[in-house]
């Protein structure tokens, strides 16, 4: 098999496979990467589980991944009946899911496994660490699908972004959405070291700073929410600890002074393209506290809903505007 993804992710661990939408080809990319990584001992888990519950109950669903002997994986206890590899239980995490607690298994034979890991982002780093302690050479995470559900998935290592025709019938729109996500992931930390230090200790929902990192008092209304209209008319850095939506960007765009908006990481920016463009047009700048890396974009020209794009045209359109490796995992 041609090594397509493995050279792109290099030595990075964990590798999180994320999708712009469902059926963007996450599983295909994951399988391909596993195959290319050959004899590396892997630690596998997923962010929660996609909602195919009905199939699960009737037991008609086929497990996704065929893993090799010696790999480690973490899944909810309720998934055991869908795993047919010979298993050794090596640890029980304190992560609870609707499908039972998440346990860590080692495969004593090749076989199928079904992943249903932690759904809260904060539970992934300890699990990644546990995999490494147990001897995993690389951790692969089946991440979320859909940009909204990426929120908080701020991952270590690198991400593999899957995009495809399932997002929309309109190819231009799919390309634009993909570009938008890549642009967000390319955001950097602020350059001023004092500002970075001030942001690193920040755990409030919102906070204000000068571009040099001096704290500025945030005017609050009687309910404790920020009064954006009362911000001093000078260059300011706005820290937003949670998700960033359209209204915040539109309000800050109208402020009439340069604003640098700092998000926890790229996955916290949930606003749409038009609001973000308006913010940037008005002199706004977008920064992140934690930089994330997309190693490559995996594109799937086939949708699950009957339509498809011309593969070459789709890949070419993406390559033209994205400054990252773009691959077609199905055909290359």
Partner 1 sequence: MELTHELRENAGFQWVLERLSPMSPFGKQAARNPRWYGPGDEAALEEELDNVALAMELWAAGGTRPQPVDSCGCEAPRVNPAELKDSAAALRGVTRCLPLFHDIRGSFDRDPGAPFDLVELFELKHFLVTLEQVVQAYAKMPPMSGIAFPSLADALELMDPEGRRLPTFSVVNSYHNDLAPLRAEKAKLEKAIRMTQEDKRGPLLEKRRVLAVEEDKIELEVRQMLTRKLMVWKDAFLANMEALGHLDLIVAKAKLALRYHCVRPALSTDKTISLKGVSHPQVAEEQAERGEQFTALELELGPGCTVITGANMGGKTVSLRSTVLSLLLCQCGFFVFAQSARLPLFDRVELILADSGPGAGGLSSFGKEVHLLDQLLRKTRDEFFFVALDEFARGTNPQEGAALARALVRYLGTLDCVALMTTHYDGVSDVAGAHYQVAGLVREIDGDEGDDPRKRIARRMDYRLLPAPPGAPCPRDALRVCRLLKLDDALMELFQADL
Which residues, 69 to 88, sit near partner 1 by CB under 8 A?
69, 77, 80, 84, 86-88
Residues 6 or more apart whose CB falls under 8 angstroms from that of 168 comprise 174, 177
Distances (CA, A) of 282 to 32, 232, 249, 251, 275: 43, 17, 10, 11, 11
CB of 41 to partner 1, least distance (A): 15
Q: In this chain, which of 6, 90, 208, 304 binds partner 1, going by CB under 8 A?
A: 90
Burial 113-137 (b: 16+ CB within 10 A, else e): bbbbbbbebebbeebbebbbeeebe
Which residues, 269 to 288, sit near partner 1 by CB under 8 A?
none
Q: Which of 298, 295, 253, 302 is nearest to 274 (CA)?
A: 253
Stretch that binds partner 1, among 19-27, 95-103, 172-180, 196-204 (CB under 8 A): 95-103
H or E element at residue 261: strand 259-263
Which residues, 96 to 135, sit near partner 1 by CB under 8 A?
100-101, 103, 106, 108-111
Using CB under 8 A as the binding criterion, the count of chain residues that bind partner 1 stands at 20
Binding mask 140-179 for partner 1 (x = CB under 8 A): ----------------------------------------
CB 90 within 8 A of CB 71: no
Which residues, 8 to 67, sit near partner 1 by CB under 8 A?
none
Report if residue 180 touches partner 1, rule: CB under 8 A.
no
Q: Which of 285, 289, 218 is nearest to 258 (CA)?
A: 285
Cα 90 to Cα 102: distance, rounded to the nearest angstrom: 11
Q: In this chain, which of 49, 68, 130, 268 binds partner 1, going by CB under 8 A?
A: 68
Report if residue 6 touches partner 1, rule: CB under 8 A.
no
CB of 65 to partner 1, least distance (A): 14
Residue 110 or residue 168: which is nearer to partner 1 going by CB?
110
Cα 25 to Cα 245: distance, rounded to the nearest angstrom: 27
Dihedral of alpha carbons 301, 307, 34, 3, sign: negative
Residue 111 or residue 157: which is nearer to partner 1 going by CB?
111
Residues that bind partner 1 (CB under 8 A): 68-69, 77, 80, 84, 86-92, 100-101, 103, 106, 108-111
């Amino acid at each position: 098999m041609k090594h397509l993804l493995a050279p792109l992710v290099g030595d990075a661990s964990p590798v999180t496979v994320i999708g712009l939408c469902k059926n963007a080809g996450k599983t295909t990319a994951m399988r391909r990467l596993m195959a290319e990584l050959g004899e590396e001992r892997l630690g596998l888990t997923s962010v929660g589980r996609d909602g195919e519950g009905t199939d699960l109950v009737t037991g008609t669903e086929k497990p996704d991944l065929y893993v090799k002997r010696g790999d480690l994986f973490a899944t909810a206890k309720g998934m055991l009946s869908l795993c047919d590899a010979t298993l050794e239980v090596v640890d029980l995490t304190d992560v609870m899911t609707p499908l039972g607690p998440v346990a860590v298994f080692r495969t004593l034979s090749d076989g199928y496994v079904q992943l249903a890991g932690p759904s809260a982002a904060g539970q992934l780093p300890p699990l990644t660490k546990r995999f490494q302690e147990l001897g995993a050479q690389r951790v692969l995470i089946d991440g979320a699908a859909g940009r909204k559900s990426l929120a908080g998935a701020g991952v270590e290592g690198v991400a593999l972004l899957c995009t495809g025709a399932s997002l929309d019938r309109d190819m231009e729109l799919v390309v634009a959405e993909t570009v938008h996500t890549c642009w967000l992931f390319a955001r950097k930390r602020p350059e001023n070291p004092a500002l970075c230090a001030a942001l690193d200790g920040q755990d409030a929902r919102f906070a204000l700073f000068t571009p040099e990192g001096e704290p500025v008092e945030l005017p609050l209304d009687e309910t404790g929410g920020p009064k954006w209209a009362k911000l001093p008319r000078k260059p300011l850095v706005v820290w937003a600890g949670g998700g960033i939506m359209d209204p915040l960007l539109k309000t800050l765009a109208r402020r009439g002074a340069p604003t640098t908006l700092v998000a926890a990481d790229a996955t916290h920016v949930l606003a749409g393209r038009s609001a973000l463009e308006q913010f940037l047009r008005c002199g706004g700048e977008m920064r992140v506290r934690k930089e994330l890396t997309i190693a490559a974009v995996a594109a799937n020209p086939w949708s699950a809903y009957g339509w498809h794009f011309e593969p070459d045209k789709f890949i070419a359109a993406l390559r033209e505007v994205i400054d990252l490796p773009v691959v077609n995992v199905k055909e290359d």
